[in-house]
Structure 1
């Protein structure tokens, strides 16, 4: 397997290696999303940080929301939604494979990346979409690592990937590319890169690239998180009288603020 650069922390390979060796079928769940395996290969991936295939297809106008809903109703229970879209003539097979591969890599970037938490595998779980074109696990890992390295080369701070985004006071460059301007229009202090991707119906990785480029030139930054309020100090309830030393320390601390 290719060497991974420092700082590229993926989901521990022993677990995935074992699932590949077992030709396992099921769902691998982490905090940031889920990988679906069939016979040890990745057939789908989902993450709350990325638009799903439904958003990518319907927002862009490739399918109407009604057509997508019909596919779910007709073929979802049999885990054959993708096959239904192709066989019914609603979507060309080659185009669907390309769109699905992009959505798969998009979600896998978060599932396999840093901060995803512990993994849990549920055997036998199938996805309602069905298999489109299975992808080897090592190919998904390599693509995840490549994307992480690319983003780090653009801007090393990862906070802009998941935290709400804010505009800085730096004036805009008139030569700012149209794609970055489209992203910037939705930076309002509450939306994350994932939110903006959903609004635009755009692959999340494309948005992450634009956001990091905007961060690199100082136009966008991650919003500062407000510190959690701390509970006020409580005096011991069992004391029969005031703790004079404690009260003096509290008084001095308040006066120092």
Structure 2
């Protein structure tokens, strides 16, 4: 693969798809991340910006720690861990695939919210992957869709990841006839004025994108407000906030997610190349 010829990460993944590449793409940046490919398809994405499959299963309580550790001790090959989780009756095969695929989409979305840095190709590394994997083109299109939806509903999604929502009590009329779903109530219960949407996603073991949509909904119901103080290592935005139209209470979960783009800086296959903006 002529990695230096790809102008951004989506283009790189499309090229690797054509080659049926199995291996790892490490993307630097904030948050950056690791993309695991199997036969050219995206099997898993790990990034500090969004919960992984492991986090989603354990933090949510879907699988308890002891059972997880017992299966890991039986099957040290992470690539085959999913089959052992299903065989042990800890989770259904279909549910596991949904969780793994959702983590791929969410990871790509999280990586797209900040300009990526360079990338590097390396050998295949073990990972709990979705089978058979996600098409790079589908991932890119879904990520773009998510970014566009949040931009229309709230403003720059990258800025939303840095705000610290505060629960509102006794002010602002809640929309008549609207009851909070268990999902929305769970998010509201974890809002404390210190956690960012990313913090909430990790605390709940839920996708970053879904948590951001829920926060927008809660703001529309006057149940949260945004703390105007900038989060550490971030600068407050001076851009005007567009009017927000809240998304449906229970919008259906999207099917796929995209990745970062960036102009390459050159390099040879398997070495650092340049980035792209927004996944």
Shorter-chain TM-score above 0.5:
yes
Q: TM-score, normalised on structure 1? A: 0.72
Asked which structure has the greater CA Rg, the reply is: 1
Checking the alignment, whether the CA contact within 8 Å between 2:174 and 2:221 is kept in structure 1 is no
Gap runs ≥5 in structure 1: 1-9, 229-257
SS at match of 1:132: coil
Name the counterpart of 1:100: 100
Q: TM-score, normalised on structure 2? A: 0.67
C-alpha distance in structure 2 between counterparts of 1:64 and 1:227, whole Å: 33
C-alpha distance in structure 2 between counterparts of 1:214 and 1:29, whole Å: 35
Structure 2 residue corresponding to 1:196, chosen from 194, 197, 200: 200
Alignment of structure 1 residues 101-140 onto 2, 5 Å: 101-111=101-111, 113-140=112-139
C-alpha distance in structure 2 between counterparts of 1:83 and 1:168, whole Å: 41
Checking the alignment, whether the CA contact within 8 Å between 1:164 and 1:190 is kept in structure 2 is no
Q: Does 1:143 align with 2:142?
A: yes
Checking the alignment, whether the CA contact within 8 Å between 2:167 and 2:188 is kept in structure 1 is no
Indicate the structure whose relative CO is greater, using CA pairs within 8 Å and at least 6 residues apart: 2
Checking the alignment, whether the CA contact within 8 Å between 1:25 and 1:40 is kept in structure 2 is yes
Name the counterpart of 1:240: none
Q: Does 1:185 align with 2:182?
A: no
Call closer, same or farther: CA 1:210–1:172 in 2, change over 3 Å: farther
Deviations 1:34-79 (CA, angstroms, capped at 9, x unpaired): 2111111100112222222123223333211111122223223463
Gap runs ≥5 in structure 2: 1-6, 234-279
Name the counterpart of 2:79: 79
Checking the alignment, whether the CA contact within 8 Å between 1:155 and 1:215 is kept in structure 2 is no
Checking the alignment, whether the CA contact within 8 Å between 2:71 and 2:85 is kept in structure 1 is yes
C-alpha distance in structure 2 between counterparts of 1:79 and 1:192, whole Å: 32
Deviations 1:126-145 (CA, angstroms, capped at 9, x unpaired): 23325533111111111111
CA RMSD after TM alignment: 2.9
More helix by share: 1
C-alpha distance in structure 2 between counterparts of 1:118 and 1:226, whole Å: 22
